[in-house]
Amino acid sequence: MSDTEIADIEAVPIRRSTRWHIAVFLAPAFLVYTAVMILPLIETLRLSLFNTVEGQLAFVGLGNFKVLFSDPRLSADFWNALGNNVIFFIIHMLVQNPVGIAIAAMLSLPGLRFAAFYRSAIFVPTLLSFVIVGFIWKLILSPIWGIAPGLMDLVGLKSFFAPWLGKPDTALITVSLISVWQYVGIPMMLIYAALLNIPDEVLEAAECDGITGWSQFWKIKLPLILPSIGIVSVLTFVGNFNAFDLIYTVQGALAGPNGSTDILGTLLYRTFFGFQNQMGDRSMGATIAAVMFLIILAGVSLYLFVIQRRMRRYQF
């Protein structure tokens, strides 16, 4: 399979006749990725076109998709999860990424002391296992053991405390913010690497023109790191629409209360693998996975074909 595709790639040489090195560069990644990831996933996604009819697995075309969008319960679950997922994503875009960029901008200032310490410390949450994150945040926010209520009491805000994770109108925001807390390190790292990549000459030239501090960030650095912000945004999008583990460990597979924290990942998990006394439904699970895939693909394609192409890149 790989041979023919790569041969196809070779078909239109631009500068040299056979450019074998391209195939050599691509082959290892292509092979491992195709064999261990793509083929098994195709095997699974194929199931979205099949369903059990009278005890036999039969081809149903787009029947499962029709059921997903027309069945009152399934479609309600799906739209609820999609809506929550959008909110989840918006919170990340509004909180996680700006905070990440701000921290990276501060860290990259020349001559800042303890920068390495701050950078490592802020990244620690990202290294934690979900089990710990789930446990410790539930403990902190618990109305009974009282870390959050106690701390709020200290600053006289006790009356604002509520069992946030247990209330339908606050649970999703709370979980999103926990996720932001955990993942802020990722935009920070990427933007930090991009900021360090800006050559000193550029900044020195700016300083000569009297552009320093805030305006230097807005006028010089920000345009230069826009491609990286683009990547961060698309990675946030992909990560959020695939998110699962955190909600699962904090709110359980049912993503309560009353489904208010259910996102596509948890819905997919429950449907595909089943949960407790609910049996897994591979076909419907694969159908949801396929829809999720199309949503993410649409977002990534928008980025690859529209945004990335229009974005001006600077080579250093």
Residue 245 DSSP one-character state: H
Number of residues in the chain: 316
Q: Please list the residues that pair with 51 across neighbouring strands.
A: 58
Q: Please list the residues that pair with 50 across neighbouring strands.
A: 59
**Ramachandran sector of residue 16 (left: φ over 0; alpha: ψ -120 to 50; beta: rest):** beta
Are 119 and 192 spatial neighbours (Cβ–Cβ below 8 Å)? Answer: yes
Q: Which is nearer to other proteins, 59 or 135 (CB)?
A: 135
Q: Which is nearer to other proteins, 62 or 124 (CB)?
A: 124
For the bound state, the minimum distance from the C-beta of residue 96 to other proteins, rounded and expressed in Å, comes to 12
Q: Which is nearer to other proteins, 93 or 163 (CB)?
A: 163
Cα Dmax for the chain: 78
For the bound state, the minimum distance from the C-beta of residue 2 to other proteins, rounded and expressed in Å, comes to 11
Q: Rounded distance, CA 80 to CA 128, Å?
A: 29
For the bound state, the minimum distance from the C-beta of residue 90 to other proteins, rounded and expressed in Å, comes to 20
Residue 158 DSSP one-character state: G
Q: Which is nearer to other proteins, 9 or 90 (CB)?
A: 9
For the bound state, the minimum distance from the C-beta of residue 149 to other proteins, rounded and expressed in Å, comes to 8
Q: Which is nearer to other proteins, 99 or 222 (CB)?
A: 99
Q: Rounded distance, CA 140 to CA 143, Å?
A: 8
For the bound state, the minimum distance from the C-beta of residue 189 to other proteins, rounded and expressed in Å, comes to 5
For the bound state, the minimum distance from the C-beta of residue 196 to other proteins, rounded and expressed in Å, comes to 5
Are 229 and 191 spatial neighbours (Cβ–Cβ below 8 Å)? Answer: yes
Q: At what angle do helices 264-273 and 282-301 cross, to 10 degrees?
A: 150
CA angle 222, 228, 112 (to 5 degrees): 60
Q: Rounded distance, CA 286 to CA 63, Å?
A: 13
CA proximity to 287, closest of 34, 51, 39: 51
For the bound state, the minimum distance from the C-beta of residue 112 to other proteins, rounded and expressed in Å, comes to 7
Q: Which is nearer to other proteins, 63 or 227 (CB)?
A: 227
Residue 313's Cβ-side half-sphere holds a number of Cα atoms within 13 Å equal to: 12
Q: Which is nearer to other proteins, 207 or 209 (CB)?
A: 207
Are 196 and 316 spatial neighbours (Cβ–Cβ below 8 Å)? Answer: no
Q: Which is nearer to other proteins, 7 or 90 (CB)?
A: 7
For the bound state, the minimum distance from the C-beta of residue 288 to other proteins, rounded and expressed in Å, comes to 10
Helix, strand and coil in the chain, % to nearest 5:
75, 5, 20
- Dig out the tokens for 171 from the structure: 């649970």
